[in-house]
Amino acid sequence: EAGVVQSPRYKIIEKKQPVAFWCNPISGHNTLYWYRQNLGQGPELLIRYENEEAVDDSQLPKDRFSAERLKGVDSTLKIQPAELGDSAVYLCASSSGGAQETQYFGPGTRLLVL
Amino acid sequence: GESVGLHLPTLSVQEGDNSIINCAYSNSASDYFIWYKQESGKGPQFIIDIRSNMDKRQGQRVTVLLNKTVKHLSLQIAATQPGDSAVYFCAENNDMRFGAGTRLTVKP
């Protein structure tokens, strides 16, 4: 069974440019998470989806970050415009149902903003 | 505020020794905890979990202990191998909070 797929794996952009990350969760997983992981730190939750509904986006910086999961499967996370401090690894995870189930993580997208 | 944290940022052990990685949490409402292993360039990988109605859970070479009285959990790795070298995170799944992680280095 394929795991969580993310693309691109690496992205280098100049500040003020837009950037988008894509995630394909494990088949059948209703819950999808986006995390940001800064160097030397643990992942920080940005947003959690149950199917196509964002049930927790309290930590998402809404002035520049947006996310969507239109059909309840794939998801995209966008930053516009990117700032230097957005350089981090963006991780996507999925689980079969709810917050009490094991999350399976993708390899992440490493973003560098110059 | 509530937090999940780890006592030590680094741990170095000799191959074959047992490793113990500790984690403290402060949210008394937390009832589900997970340990993850993260190797360089990869996403966190599930190791073992424990629910608050348990004190101990064992897996293959790993054991998680939960002490709700002092809000502490630990990950024990038996007969540590070089492949165990990684950063280990504890997480509680109510607020989706991760600790900063402990880097385990196994010396051959």
Measured in degrees and rounded to the nearest 5, phi and psi for residue B94 equal -80, -45
- Of the candidates B46, B96, B101, which has its C-beta nearest A104's C-beta? B46
Residues of B with CB below 8 A from A41's CB?
A: 100-101
pLDDT greater than 70 at residue A68: yes
Place of tokens 């190791």: B47
The residues with which B34 forms a beta bridge, in sequence order, are B49, B91
Q: What sign has the CA pseudo-torsion A43, A45, A47, A49?
A: positive
Mean pLDDT of B77-92: 95
Measured in degrees and rounded to the nearest 5, phi and psi for residue B30 equal -60, 130
A15-25 per-position pLDDT tens digit: 999 999 999 99
CB contact under 8 A, B32 and A106: no
Number of Cβ pairs < 8 A linking chain A and chain B: 48
Contact residues, chain A to chain B, C-beta under 8 Å: 4, 33, 40-45, 48, 56, 91, 93, 99-100, 102-108
pLDDT of residue B42: 93
Place of tokens 């009490």: A100
Helices then strands, counting H and E runs in chain B, come out as 0, 11
For residue A95, CA distances in Å to A3, B40, B95, B106 come to: 11, 23, 15, 31
Q: What is the mean pLDDT of chain B?
A: 89
Residues of A with CB below 8 A from B41's CB?
A: 107
Residues of A with CB below 8 A from B101's CB?
A: 40-42
Mean pLDDT of A71-94: 96
A93-114 per-position pLDDT tens digit: 999 876 567 889 999 999 999 9
Residues of B with CB below 8 A from A106's CB?
A: 43
A44 burial level (CB within 10 Å; 0-12, 13-18, 19+): middle
Provide, rounded to the nearest whole percent, the portion of chain A with pLDDT above 70. Answer: 96
pLDDT of residue A100: 65
Residue A24 has what DSSP assignment? E
Q: Are strands A5-7 and A75-79 parallel, antiparallel or unpaired?
A: unpaired
Residues of A with CB below 8 A from B97's CB?
A: 45
pLDDT of residue A99: 58
Place of tokens 């196509």: A52
A69-79 per-position pLDDT tens digit: 988 899 999 99
Provide, rounded to the nearest whole percent, the portion of chain A with pLDDT above 90. Answer: 84
B5-41 per-position pLDDT tens digit: 545 589 999 999 999 999 988 888 888 899 999 999 9
Q: For residue A87, what are its two tokens?
A: 């350089």
- State how far the Cα of A25 lies from the Cα of A28, in Å rounded to an integer: 8
pLDDT of residue B30: 85
Instruction: Choose the mutation target among B96, B97, B98 for the interface with A, i.e. most A CBs under 10 Å.
Output: B96
CB contact under 8 A, A43 and B49: no
pLDDT of residue A98: 64
Residues of A with CB below 8 A from B99's CB?
A: 42
- Of the candidates A45, A100, A106, which has its C-beta nearest B43's C-beta? A106
Q: What sign has the CA pseudo-torsion A104, A110, A111, B2?
A: positive
Q: What is the mean pLDDT of chain A?
A: 93
Instruction: Tell me the nearest-neighbour CA distance from A18 into chain B, angstroms.
Output: 24
Instruction: Tell me the nearest-neighbour CA distance from A62 into chain B, angstroms.
Output: 19
